[in-house]
Amino acid sequence: MTDELIATVEGHTGRLRLNRPRALHALTVAMCEGVLAALEDWRGDDGVRAIILDHAEGRGFCAGGDIRLLAESGAGDGSAARHFFATEYRMNHRLFTYAKPIVAVMDGVTMGGGVGIALPCRYRVATENTRLAMPETGIGLFPDVGGGWYLSRLPGRIGQYLALTGHRLDGAEAAALELATHYVPAARVEALKARIVAAPEDVAAALNALAEAPPAAPILQHRVAIDRLFASDTLEEVFAALAADGGEWATAQLATLRTKSPQTMKVSLRLLKDGARMASFADEMTQEYAVASRVVQRHDFLEGVRAVIVDKDNAPRWNPATPEGVSDHVIDQIFAPLPEDEAWRP
């Protein structure tokens, strides 16, 4: 185990607490390995009947993954980045297939890798502090950790909208889209955890006792516009639809898209199109691993990290700079299956 992850058993409840407060609990390889080890230990332990996944202290649930490690590796041979993705995706898959109930408490920032560990859980708690997003296109990445699976299964074209823009959902919006199963005011979260620890055989009762109806979800006000303007799986056509609309909301979305990586926006649309047809979550993760292993070594990711995280000038120079410059051939290369001996396995 690592001090970045606190794994304990309280009564008959396993506790997994992310513990990197200065990094908003962003995931490291050691944290992913720790989650995998704990889940394996508890899988056949009849003394552990339910699991709570949350953060130990500070703001945020989980802000994502170790982006600096990925960028440093991507600038070299990429082996450390591939190891990170392989381990993280095994953790995602283990959470997705785990038999015992897991409750993810998304009280705060839940982005990227945080979405990847929360959404596979049977119960997902949002609060008024929840800010859930897949903002990867802003740093030249794409919504991985199962994003192609989850986002492609949202109603209408909301998944495509979230993948391209990186829009941050609040707790009410996460609940409305069923990304969260329950909405619990933050003031009740500790009481919820205590109830689960006291009676882990009936997690649903504890959740139902403390959850409440969420406020109205602002994103639903734009549902018709999202379905119309983000209807195409071709990025150039999305840009054209937004430009032709000319309204205030559409103009704002177009301005947002113009700040994102054209390459990884196209990757995202392809990912969701394929993801909707995936037969299993494991198949989804196999494809995402192949895509991630290539994207992490491409110019746009290294440039996005430079602009947003290192230099913080927020002025990435994407290459190609426009959707038209990203050929179908490049996207096909990124999505090509890996050789059998390099492919991801659960």
Catalytic residue among 4, 54, 107, 144: 144
Candidates 54, 88, 107, 136; catalytic one? 136
Query: Is the distance from CB of 123 to CB of 102 less than 8 angstroms?
Result: yes
Sequence-distant (6+) residues with CB within 8 A of 2 are 28, 30, 31, 34
93 burial level (CB within 10 Å; 0-12, 13-18, 19+):
buried
Stretch (H or E) spanning 341? none
Where b means 16+ CB within 10 Å and e means fewer, 235-254 reads beebbebbeebeeeebeebb
204 φ/ψ sector (left φ>0, alpha ψ -120 to 50, else beta): alpha
- The alpha carbon torsion through 188, 191, 197, 200 (nearest 10 deg) reads -50
Distance CA 254, CA 113 (A): 26
Clarify whether 146 is annotated catalytic: no
> Pick the catalytic residue: 34, 65, 74, 108?
65
Comparing C-alpha atoms, which of 132, 147, 42, 140 is closest to residue 92?
147
For 239-278, the DSSP string reads HHHHHHH--HHHHHHHHHHTTS-HHHHHHHHHHHHHHTT-
- Whether 66 is catalytic: no
Strand partners, 18: 5, 55
Q: Is 136 a catalytic residue?
A: yes
Residue 287: its H or E element: helix 281-295
Residue 2 to residue 25: CA distance in whole angstroms: 13
Q: How far apart are CA 337 and CA 218, in angstroms?
A: 39
Please confirm, yes or no, whether 144 is among the known catalytic residues: yes
Which residue in this structure is represented by tokens 């009280």?
107
Q: Which of 34, 108, 113, 159 is catalytic?
A: 113
- Which residues have a catalytic role annotated? 65, 113, 136, 144
